[in-house]
Amino acid sequence: MNELDRNFINALNRKVQKTPPVWIMRQAGRYLPEYRKVRSNFKNFLDMCKTPEVCCELVLQPIQRYDFDAAIIFSDILTIPDALGLGVSFVEGKGPIFSNPIRRPEDISNIADFNPESLDYVYTTAELTRKELDTSIPLIGFSGSPWTLAAYSIEGSSSKNFDLTKSFIENHSLDAHRFLEILTDACFEYLKRQIISGVDVIQIFDSWANLLSDQQYLEYSLKYIKKLLDKLSKDPITCKTPTILFAREPKCNLNEFKLNNLSCYGMYTSIYPSNAINIFEGSHALQGNLDPKILLDEDAIIKETVLKLLSKFKNYPGYIFNLGHGITPDINPDKVKVLVDAIREFGS
């Protein structure tokens, strides 16, 4: 990587910078017309994820349009449950559907061993993209957290309340833990191979952190995120790769996220910046957390809100601008340009 353009890596190394790096969660996706055009060639979304040349093109689309400071592999968090034989497909308007969800403890015993090679298509995407991407732009690899993957696998689809998942962990706690161990090992092997294939940074998405109470969160999610980070830190191949954790509205105290072996905490929309700054005190880089809905507003409001957020983190050692959750399909792509310009003007 070019030393001059390492904004994103500098932030992960907790350096104060005049202009923070910016990327946005779900930056390649349905809000972009160029994405929708490519997407229309595939009936099943996962078939598109299994075509590395196409995924590489999709990674580059938002970089070409906005000159973001980081790129993220185009794939999905549900590749692991699919590789475990749970039969994931994406149904238009319904989201992911599992043909073999985990409904009984026996279903866990019957899960196929995770074969990391079965996700070769993701590693090929990483290799191709690393070759095509400007050397100055870091490439982010990712996985879901073990808990978030378990929630989809047990529920068998997305859901508002994930009631099946909640009753499964209450009625079969030991089995749930057994499943979370399997997922933790799979996430480690998967992320390790992404790193071997050229990704520079790892992000873990705990998108269903909000389902659990404070105590449950520590027991069913954070415990396994810690295990995963610990494994990554102990392996000579993965130990140097910076790590980011994004958790959606976790109920536990923010202090719990001052984790060893974590480089950066990704703040969900509802977190007050001043609170995060006071708690983390520079121990970790911070990423986030503009409410994606602001992008539905007028340009002047977007600018004003972005500048407010930037001024809060001005002296924080290691700040990465991002949204507080993924960008939604209803956003006008021009609004993202307004956001990026406001950030770049701030530091110049």
List 31, 69, 76, 220, catalytic entry: 76
Q: Is the dihedral of CA 292, 297, 299, 302 positive or negative?
A: negative
Which of residues 98 and 205 has its CB atom nearest to ligand 1CP in the complex?
A: 205
List 31, 66, 123, 152, catalytic entry: 152
Closest approach, Cβ 155 to ligand 1CP, in A, equals 9
User: 161 in helix, strand or coil?
Assistant: coil
Is 36 an active-site residue? no
List 14, 26, 65, 103, catalytic entry: 26
- Report CA-CA distances (Å) from 156 to 133, 188, 195, 314: 36, 23, 29, 43
Is 152 an active-site residue? yes
Q: Could you give the CA distance from residue 253 to residue 68 in angstroms, rounded to a whole number?
A: 31
Is 235 an active-site residue? no
User: 285 in helix, strand or coil?
Assistant: strand
Q: Which residues bind ligand 1CP (CB under 6 A)?
A: 25-30, 39, 45, 72, 74, 76-78, 90, 95-96, 142, 158, 205, 207, 326
Which of residues 292 and 318 has its CB atom nearest to ligand 1CP in the complex?
A: 292
8 Å CB contact between 232 and 241: yes
Closest approach, Cβ 80 to ligand 1CP, in A, equals 11
Closest approach, Cβ 31 to ligand 1CP, in A, equals 9
DSSP letter assigned to residue 22: B
Alpha carbons within 13 A on the beta-carbon side of 304: 5
8 Å CB contact between 7 and 19: yes
Which of residues 146 and 317 has its CB atom nearest to ligand 1CP in the complex?
A: 146
Closest approach, Cβ 269 to ligand 1CP, in A, equals 12
Is 67 an active-site residue? no
Which of residues 165 and 263 has its CB atom nearest to ligand 1CP in the complex?
A: 165
DSSP letter assigned to residue 281: T
Is 26 an active-site residue? yes
List 14, 39, 65, 103, catalytic entry: 39
8 Å CB contact between 228 and 186: no
DSSP letter assigned to residue 82: I
Q: Which residues are catalytic?
A: 26, 30, 39, 76, 152
